[in-house]
A and B are shown apart, each in its own frame.
Chain A
Amino acid sequence: MTIGTDDGLATYNFAYLDEQTKRMIRRAILKGIAIPGYQVPFASREMPMPYGWGTGGVQVTASIIGPDDVLKVIDQGADDTTNAVSIRAFFAKVADVETTTETAKASIIQTRHRIPEEKLKDGQILVYQVPIPEPLRFLEPRETETRKMHALAEYGLMHVKLYEDIAKNGHIATTYAYPVKVEDRYVMDPSPTPKFDNPKMHMSDALQLFGAGREKRIYAVPPHTKVVSLDFEDYPFEIQTFEEPCAMCGAQGVYLDEVILDDRGGRMFVCSDTDYCEKRREDGHRGHLAGDAMEAAE
């Protein structure tokens, strides 16, 4: 298939990558699914965007996507930030696929650092962009050592790290990239999602794929797979809670972003998941700073 020939643009293979690269990545994805939480090395390619912009996730998406897929891309929950817009435009151009911002309509959702609030369904695939796939890397810089620790399922060091958190701060202070154990075997980095999202990974109906381009690793969590956040009996895992609901749509029990309004301490909290927030406002939900609510108050 050729794309863009009529408007003078360069002609790429479908979904940008060449077929041999796709086969290599597809084989890595299959082994990743067969060994949940294990990081499969792969020969990451240079992509037409810098490392740190989601080249791992882009390569995974490019290797699984087909002409019938509908793609959604989010960056910190938002469909309309630079990274999300660029990647969506990239696949619209090189794979000619339909894109959407609606979680329920997407067959593939590529994400940077969030899981949508709406529960994912059977058949959907969530592709994570991962910067540092090795959860032990900041504790042990040597790959030879971390590999051995995974081989022996020797994760004491991670528990020491969480214990030190408690000793210093009185609670586990890790709030994002909170380590999880997959199917009672591999300790895995859930990518820098807020720990708020960790419970959504557990027994999800959707297939979860993780791509780290710079670090050249792919890993996976199949549907209906145990994903347990590490903790202690007397310091159980807890997610973030928010005192006030979303200022725009009034949603509670969702992850909120803080937005500074002025230089006098004014602030508001709004849904990080823009699609979820828009849907709720369409359905008539109003937070205390939503336009209609303010007009009514005036």
Chain B
Amino acid sequence: MLGRSSKAAKVAEELSHYGGVRGRSLARDALQRFLSNKAAIFCVFFLAAIVLFVLFGPALAKWNNEEIDWAVLGDIAAQGMPSVQSGHYFGTDELGRDLYSRTIQATGTSLMVGLIGTAMALVVGTTWGVTAGYLGGRVDSIMMRIVDILYSVPITLVVILILVVAGRSFTTLFIALGSVSWLTMSRIVRAQTLALKNREFIEAARAGGVSELMIVVRHIIPNLLGVLIVYASLLVPDLIFAESFISFLGLGISEPYTSLGALISEGAGTMGYGTLWQLLVPLFFYVSITFTMFFIGDGLRDALDPKDR
């Protein structure tokens, strides 16, 4: 208690002693610009609502995602419609399972894929790109050659190959998506690092005796953040697309777990039989998520890179 208060007192003293005006950092400026972008802010709230729905929606569910409602199974088109009374708020699927619970589970999967895949891409892509760009020379050519080769194979097909080879499972899917999603990121990071490396403030740091590692940590990475945030936010919908695409083809994660792609695929298969909600519900969620993500990413780019408007 005592230690803390003396520390606090010291901080307070320092603050009052050097009571200069707080500067507006680039990050604060960017945040200000982002906050004034009404469409993007609306999308942030919309996306937050979807996330909250995924987190707390199950509390309202009357059925879980595996149970089959035998009462409606015979006549889905008439009995499995969305209704509050039956407890199937979004109706049921072809097998009489509750679409509400299944949609929540599927949306969760999609969001997880987007987030975890992007996190992997950030870690691997940044490390790869910064290393290649900063070291330059032969290391750079070899590392970027590898990226080029991986790039020349359609990535989603590679993921399918990996799933085929290693077997279909949740973990494999994450690893497969993560192992190819970093390619674009590494290219962007490398290009940025190359540009930064020749800036005078890096030279100034070097002339000031700062070690190469510290230059990367203190000067290169912080200056990459803006670009990283923008491309990460645009990568999320890309990954959600890839996962849904694979699931649509029936090559993604397996039952009883499902994903938006698989639900859309099922819905598309039955839309001729008067059960249109089976298509429209997952479709609405998919389009909402990717649309808001793209809009947010766009807003972030405008905010962080004001010249590119």
The answer to whether A binds B is: no
On B, residues with C-beta under 8 Å from A are: none
On A, residues with C-beta under 8 Å from B are: none
